[in-house]
Structure formats: structure tokens, C-alpha cells
Amino acid sequence: MTHMLNCHLDTIQIDPVDMTEDFLTLASRFADMNGTVALVSGGDMDCARYHILGVDPWLCLSGRKQEMHLSVLENQSVFSADPFDVLGDILKRFKISSNQLAGMLPLPFFAGLLGYLAYDLKDCIERLPRTSVDDLNLPHICLYSHRYVFVEDKPAKKRWLCMTKPPGDDTSHSENALKRLNRRLTGSLPGSRSFSGDVGGFSSSFTQPDYEAAIRTIRDYIAAGDVYQVNMSQRFVMTFDGDAFSLFRALYQKNPAPFFAYVHAGDHQVVSTSPERFVLRNHSRVETRPIKGTRPRGRNPEEDCRLRAELENSPKDDAELSMIVDLLRNDIGKVCQANSVRVTAHKRLEAYQNVYHLVSDVEGILEPDMDSVDVIRATFPGGSITGCPKIRAMEVIDELEPVRRHIYTGSIGYISFHDTMDLSIAIRTATIVRGKILFSVGGGIVYDSDPADEYAETLHKGRTLMDVFRGLPSSEKPSPFVWLNGQLMDSDRAHVSITGPGIQYGWGIFETIRVANGHPQFLADHLTRFDASWRHLFDSHPPDVTWNAVISQVIEKNQLAETVAAVKILAARRNSDLSPTGCDLAVLARPYRHRLELIQSDGLRLGVYPFPRQSPLADHKTCNYLVYQMAAGWAKRQGFDEALILNPDHTVSECATANLILICGQEAIVPESPHVLAGVMEKAVLKRLISMGYRVQKQAIAVTDMISADQVILTNSLMGPVSAIRLDDRALSADIRFTEQLRKDVLNTVFNLKPPT
């Protein structure tokens, strides 16, 4: 890393720019670019004076735990280090000297880092247990330094463009960057973009009874003297489709707050509507503004006044805020001069569109040998959203919340190269990732907290984010329906026991069936194979189920009767004597798009999986399928469409998701393997080839035989026969028209229209 940072910023130029369009419109011009960060201040409070927009990053620091990714211009490095140490090194290397600052405008930020610090960075500060699940796998730190930063002073109605020349940047790169900027500024505005959510709405990581039970557990800890207060949250998730910045704009127009933020982090975007400052640094001055105490706004003036007075006069909320103020006084006291820390305001009431909050201001004077990273280390994460004492509160949070928080209750904002910093607490904050939107809401729990009231408070706090989706078109259908143990149900309600060997050991079997326009294809062959595996692996009679009728119910319920669907019949062993089969039985359905359509190709590219395998389980379609999943994942990472599985003697076995047929002259050759399951589609394709005059042979096949074959065909029940067009780095002979016709001949023939006897 050191060689990437052994330089200084060359030049910083600040020019006034005309305010011909509002700041959100300006930001919209860059919102689709990776690394764009917008910090937008709503309202007229003193902490909401400036808008800041960073575009075209020249430096990016991201990482999880100790694995850091640093890119500077075209140079990239991955290394192991403490993220706060790396952050400190960057700030020191690019620190703007007093000579450079001379004559500069007194702006809070013009060069430095913009982005977020996830709550999970706490594990780099304290040694804490990690018993919740990190299901997002997103960066814990994500910060950018930009070539261009727009800063707007709202009250003065002035805007500046701050331009940084990165270290080592040559003239041509700088000129090209400026051209890119001008094209964005002078080009037409992006068209109106929409966003939508799932018709089923948000689902929570908790049920209400479970959330209230967690509150009671915290009260038990408090009664035992284990902790005084814990911030408990629940996470909501929903399908999301459309433009994240349009959501950001809609939220700002609905309920502007001082610390709105938009971060385009490439594969995910963060939209924050936070009202809470975490920590401000202005050279030697340090400030934090904890929020504790919330009431919803009233539906009429009388109710609004009553709720406001209730909050202002609440002993519980007063005690809660006072407790956190003491915690934060202690935190900033670690880095501030003795006797400089003081509470400058206590129990200020702040009014927002949907809630009232109680706020306090705590200030201190930084020790001369301390810097911004020292301030963060001393205070992160903010005490107002952990609890007291902080370390034990964070342990309880991890014990009771099922998923990691990521950005929620972390921080978003700027850390400058000239000793200023302003970070918000990431509450009222949503992440858009992999077609989902998720956000968390919580509240501080003390001994006299009422579980039902605390649950209701989380809904009040999340109302702004939830309400923005009301009345919008839905992005997709509700969660699919499944058939489980004789009952049709929403998949969210479908559960099987984790103690059964079906889950613990993969002791189960399945069949995947292509259903075209409501008609299962080759169903009798699938069921014959399913029943044979059942007898062999479960040593009992197969279940007496009319699978054709069950499949029809699932297809109809999921509205898939007029399309092609992939249906899976699944049986998983369980520890129960109540079921005569001893298994959980399920039928699932999903829409199916052909693989060639998805990858927009005439054939599949094969890669030889470097780990040969042989297992007697391969004689059956078992749920012990991990080796095939690993092979498929390997192929994707290597840029292939499919993995070729070898036997221990390095002869060909099959593919991760398909059987193989080689065409050599008038012979159709299938691999001979000690353990491999003959495919239902393979059987149908061979039957068709025989009718066309081909002779079927079964023999040992080497990889070189595939290269010399006239045609390599891959088959499975969903996609039918398709051509393999490459094997590793070698092109394969492929007659695409032949395979397409073969696929039509087989797939267009609908079998098993009547229930099998």
C-alpha cells in the first residue's frame, strides 16, 4: 500500500459556479456513476447549511474486517490491515498543508473522503462475539476521494466547484476527466426514472411476538444489573425495482432532514434520511448530538401538541437521553482536553414530518496530538444507537438481532484532508442491493419500556421509508406458493426442521421437471427415477401422492399455467415418527427462461473442473449436491457457462447441471462412469437420435475425445439439448441448427397429460 500513497495532492482549485439548477437536479446528472456521493441538508437548522456532491473518484478505500481494497487512479491493491490504520495513513499522506490552505474559502469540505463506515466496523475496535448472520456480505468501510466536489452554501445561495488534481495524474488524464465532467453538466438531464416495491410490502426479520420477547429479555438483563439500556432494532426487506436516486429524491421532497445522503457504491446504493449528527470536527472543536426520545406527529393540531408535551415531560425519555449524554461525554473525553467537554444544550425538541425527537449537544476541544481517526475510534459506533454500557449493549444486540446491521447505525459523511469531519448516524437509512431494499429501525430499551409500545415506535420511525412506496406500481408478484406436506402455503411460511438429517446431511432426493403451459414433460420418467431413489435411500415405499395433481395446483397458484416453469419435487428426511414417510415432501415452482436466452449465446462454454469426483450418491438425484454447486460456482468465476466433471481416472463423467452426449459420425456416445445418474432428457434425446438413424454407444470418454467429436451435446430436463461450443480455451465443433431442431423435436412433444397410474 505504501507505494500507492507516497505522494501528495498536486493542486486544489476552487471556483464559483452558477446555480442554474437546484442541487438535487445537479446531483441527478451523476447519480448513475459508481462512487458518486451526495450529502444533502434539509431544513433550516444550523447543522443543515451545506450541500456536498462528490463525483469522479480517483481514490477508493473499501473492505471487510482486515481485508482492505485500495485503488488510486489505475493502481489497485488488496492487503491485510486495520481499516482505521489505513484511513489514518490516507489522511496523513494527503493532508493539506497550512500553505495550501492560505487564501482558501472557509468551506467545511473541498477535498477528502466521502462515504460510509458500517456499524460492523465495531469489531475492529472491540473484541465482541459475532453470533448474528452477515447475510449481505457488503463492505464495512467504503470511502471515496473525488476529482470534483460541488459545495453549496444554502443560506448564502452560493455554489463552488472544488477540483483536485490527483497525485501522479498526467495532463491527458486530467483533460479527459474535465471533458467527462463538462459533458455531464451540459448534456440533457436524465429522463424521469421510477422505482417500485413488492406488492406484498416489507417483511421483517422479527415477528411482533418475537420482537416483544426480545424487549422482555433486555428488561431481564437490566433487572439483573447487566446493562442499563440497549438499542434494539428490526430489519425490513422488500423487493425493489427501478432507480435508487429517484427514491432518494422522493424521500427528500417528502420529509427533508439535515443529514440526507446518497452513496452509489457500485453493486449497492445507500439512501439515508438521517436527522442525527454522530460527530462533527472543525479543527480543534468536536461536537456530537445524540437523539433519544421519539413521538409520532399528531393527526390534528390538538393531538400534535399533546404528543409534543408528552415527550418533553417524559421522565423515561429524559433519563434515557441523560444516560446517553453521559456515555458520549465519556467517549469524546478520551480525545479531548481535560475539562473542555460540556453539554451546551439538553433536551432540545426537534420537529420532523412524522416524528418529534429530543436532542442534546455535547462539545469538547480536541487534544493537539489527536486527529479525526482518533475521534472515530473513541466514539464509534455512536452510543445513542448502541446502549449503555456500550460494549455490553453491543453484545446483547448481537445476541438478539438475527442479522448484522451493516450500514444501519454506522456513519455517513465526510472526513476532509484539512481537519474537518461531519458524520451522521445512519438511521432512517436504506440499502438497495441485488434487487432488494432493506432498512432497520429501532429504539432504546430501558427497564420500564413497554414491548408493544417499542414495537409500535419502530413502525413510526420507519413510516417515511414505507409510505413512499404506497400507491406506486408493484415491481413483482408476492412471494411464491409452495406445496409442503399436503398444504399449499406462502413460501415465507414454509418451514422444515433443522434437526432432521435432510438438513444436516443432505439426506434427501429431488427431481426437476419442465412444465410447459401447465403440462409436466416426461413426468412418468421423473417419477420412476424418484421412486427408485426413494426405495434405495429411504428403504420404504414411496409416498402415495398424485404428483400430477399437486404440480397442477402449484402451477395454478403461482400463475404459471401459460408459460414455461421449472418445478421441483423434493423429499428431505426428518426426525419424526409422526409421518409414515419420515420425510418432508415439497413441490416448488418458478418461471424458467432458457439458459441460451439468458447468456445470449448459441451454445455453452465448458470448463474442466479441476477436482475429479466419484461417489455412489451420484447414482441418485440426492440433496447432497454440494460438489455440483461448487463446480458451477467455479465455472462462473472462471468465465465458463458450465463445469465438466471428471472421474478419478480423469475420464469424463458429466457436467454440473447436465448430461453429455458426443456425436461422432453416426454414433451417439455417452460417457461410461462408475457412478452417474442417467438423465430423463438424455433418454429422450437418445430416443430421438435413434429414430434418426444414430447408434448409441456407452464408453469411457477422454477430454481429447470431446475436442475431436463432431458435436458435444449437453442435456437436462429444463433446457433440453444444447451445443457445447468451447472446452477450456479450445473451440468445439458445433452444428447449432442441428441442436436447435433436436431441441424443438424433443421439447415440443408434450408427454404425460394424464395422471400416471
Pairing of strands 342-351, 141-153: unpaired
> DSSP characters for 405-442?
-TTTTSEEEEEETTSEEEEEE--SEEEEETTEEEEEEE
Return the C-alpha cell found at 517.
403451459
Q: Taking CA 188 as the corner, what is the angle to CA 184 and CA 191, rounded to the nearest 5 degrees?
A: 110
CA dihedral for 331, 336, 341, 346, sign (positive or negative):
negative
Element (H, E) at 547: helix 547-557
CA distance 12 to 160: 12
CA distance 271 to 38: 10
- Give the start-end residues of each E strand in 193-351: 195-197, 203-204, 229-242, 259-264, 268-274, 277-282, 285-288, 291-296, 342-351
CA distance 33 to 289: 32
CA dihedral 458, 463, 464, 465 (to 10 degrees): 80
350 is catalytic: no
Q: Taking CA 127 as the corner, what is the angle to CA 124 and CA 128, rounded to the nearest 5 degrees?
A: 105
Using an 8 Å Cβ cutoff, are 270 and 430 in contact? yes
How far are the Cα atoms of 72, 74, 80, 90, 599 from residue 2, in angstroms, in the given order? 12, 15, 13, 10, 41
Report residue 593: phi and psi, to 5°: -115, 135
CA distance 124 to 103: 39
Q: Is 100 exposed, middle or buried (0-12, 13-18, 19+ CB in 10 A)?
A: middle
Give 12's strand partners: 164
Q: Which of 122, 152, 292, 390 is catalytic?
A: 292
Element (H, E) at 630: helix 626-637
Q: Taking CA 88 as the corner, what is the angle to CA 83 and CA 93, rounded to the nearest 5 degrees?
A: 125
Q: How many helices (H) and strands (E) does the chain have?
A: 21, 38
Please tell me the total number of residues recorded for the chain in this structure: 757
454 is catalytic: no
How far are the Cα atoms of 158, 166, 390, 420, 633 from residue 107, in angstroms, in the given order? 11, 20, 34, 10, 49
Instruction: Report helix, strand or coil for 735.
Output: coil
CA distance 469 to 347: 33
Burial 161-170 (b: 16+ CB within 10 A, else e): bbbbbbbebe
CA distance 272 to 626: 39
Q: Which residues contact 630 (CB under 8 A, 6 or more apart)?
A: none
Q: Which of 122, 152, 276, 320 is catalytic?
A: 276
Pairing of strands 229-242, 387-388: antiparallel
Q: Taking CA 654 as the corner, what is the angle to CA 650 and CA 659, rounded to the nearest 5 degrees?
A: 155
The closest alpha carbon to 713, from 663, 679, 749, 671, belongs to 663
Alpha carbon 39 to chain centroid, angstroms? 22
3-state helix, strand, coil in the chain (%, to 5): 30, 35, 35
Instruction: Report helix, strand or coil for 49.
Output: coil
- The DSSP letter of residue 719 is T
Using an 8 Å Cβ cutoff, are 713 and 724 in contact? yes
Q: Name the residues annotated as catalytic.
A: 276, 292
